[in-house]
Structure 1
Amino acid sequence: MTLRDRQKQQTRRSLLECAKTLFVERGYAAVTIDDITAATGCSRATFYLHFSGKPDILQKIGAETMAQRAVAVYADLDEVLGSGSPAEFTRWMRRAVAWFEANQDILPAWDEAVALEPDFKAIARQAVAELPAAMPRYLASWGPGRRHEAHLRIELLVSQLERFFTRWAVQGTIESTADEAAVVLSDIWFPALVPPERRKSAQHFA
């Protein structure tokens, strides 16, 4: 790698880090490209060498977080559902809530961009749609004829977890401990994710 290549990489990293800091501190709408370039010490032309605009740089910031979610949260869920144990599912739910707590800083900016940027809706939709790919055992358990339904159930789970976390931890409009929420969410979602023909046998693992 040449010196110029290393400098370009460093500039890109700096833009990503400064943009993330500004989005967390001010929110998505309040931050301009000029704010990001001023914080980084580069020009708008340099910014556009790396990113097409604000939605693009937020997508790149979120890409690593979303990839971590697929591996750390939903691949884990694939194993848990394979066990057929409601108790294991409740423990998974606690870990999922903990993941959201650890990554909560950037989530409000992500939600704001979805509301404000028409192009960003497709980005957010794709990020959710890709999560079932981390769950091959779960998808197989529903059979090829019900694969779409299996995908939809995971997408609805993701949506409810995100909305719960936003109202609970970010907005403070839901009063609950993490453990209480994990138990109730598990009561709702464990039966919804187990194929009907397996639900009766799954009760033996409770």
Structure 2
Amino acid sequence: MPAPTRRSADSAGRSSAPDLRAQQKRYTRQRLIAAAAGLFEAKGYEATTVDDIVAEAGAARATFYLHFTGKGDIVAELADHIWADTAAMFAAFGELPDWSHASIRAWLGAYVTRGEENRQALRIFAEQLPHALRDQHQEHVKEFVALLTRPPERWAHLSKPEAKRRAYLLITQLETFMPSWMAGRWSRERSAILDTLTGIWRNTLEADRVDPLADVDPASARG
């Protein structure tokens, strides 16, 4: 096999340099985000300054502004990640084979696990969601309601307004529950908590469903 020429070696060196710069840029950005998230959680969003963030990240102020226009950009990026994750979870609910106890409990278990993985960001949003993102949050909740109420035939026992109301209440229940759960305000008996949540969800989803045998005389049903 012929040895690489100087030209090919130089080309390889030039092509790898942008990759290294891109990796360094991503690393710096993630370091700034991690530093900001820790400070938002510890001090609060309003009390945290850009100077605090760059000091915590070990970066220069000018470097911060190469990546962000302000600290609001960071919390918006954290929010986008959480909202995308949450949307994926509610979309997965629509793909459940049924609304049995086992199916809903497994989905709720996955939802709680995903929330635990996003513990830090969820705490920030629960306690000090910046005012600028509150309207966006409400828009995302509407998206979650639309995802949760699919497929429509599974919700056919309810009117569309009632289906949306119940979906909204179930979603806001989880949004309230998760920060309390992660803060240790609930019993750590995970299995019992999941059973209780599953019961609430099934009762809310299945209430008012008409039993096809409800008005049938038992004797005629046996016959």
Cα distance in 1, alignment partners of residues 181 and 36 from structure 2? 26
> 1:185 is matched with which residue?
197
**Pair 1:99-2:117 in alignment:** no
Give the partner amino acid of 1:20: A
> 1:204 is matched with which residue?
none
Worse overlay, 8-17 or 95-104: 8-17
Cα distance in 1, alignment partners of residues 93 and 81 from structure 2? 19
Cα distance in 2, alignment partners of residues 147 and 155 from structure 1? 12
Correspondence for 1:156 among 162, 169, 190: 169
- Where in structure 2 are the equivalents of 1:98-137 lying within 5 Å? 98-114=113-129, 117-135=130-148, 137=150
**Pair 1:18-2:35 in alignment:** yes
Larger Rg: 2
Aligned length: 193
Structure 1: stretches of 5+ with no match in the other structure = 202-206
**Cα distance change of structure 1 residues 8 and 103 upon mapping to structure 2, 3 Å threshold:** closer
Cα distance in 2, alignment partners of residues 160 and 120 from structure 1? 20
Give the partner amino acid of 1:164: F
Cα distance in 1, alignment partners of residues 165 and 67 from structure 2? 34
Structure with the larger helix share = 1
Give the TM-score normalised by the residue count of structure 1: 0.73
Q: How far apart are residue 22 of structure 1 and its match?
A: 3.1
Q: How far apart are residue 194 of structure 1 and its match?
A: 4.0
> 2:59 is matched with which residue?
41
CA contact (8 A) 1:139 1:150 kept: no
Give the partner amino acid of 1:108: R
In percent, how many aligned pairs have the same letter?
31
Cα distance in 2, alignment partners of residues 122 and 74 from structure 1? 20
> 2:185 is matched with which residue?
173
**Cα distance change of structure 1 residues 126 and 54 upon mapping to structure 2, 3 Å threshold:** farther
Cα distance in 1, alignment partners of residues 159 and 203 from structure 2? 16
Q: Aligned Cα RMSD in Å? A: 3.2
Q: How far apart are residue 94 of structure 1 and its match?
A: 2.0
Q: How far apart are residue 9 of structure 1 and its match?
A: 5.3
Cα distance in 2, alignment partners of residues 140 and 8 from structure 1? 48
Give the partner amino acid of 1:41: A
**Cα distance change of structure 1 residues 50 and 159 upon mapping to structure 2, 3 Å threshold:** same
Cα distance in 2, alignment partners of residues 113 and 51 from structure 1? 20
Give the partner amino acid of 2:92: D
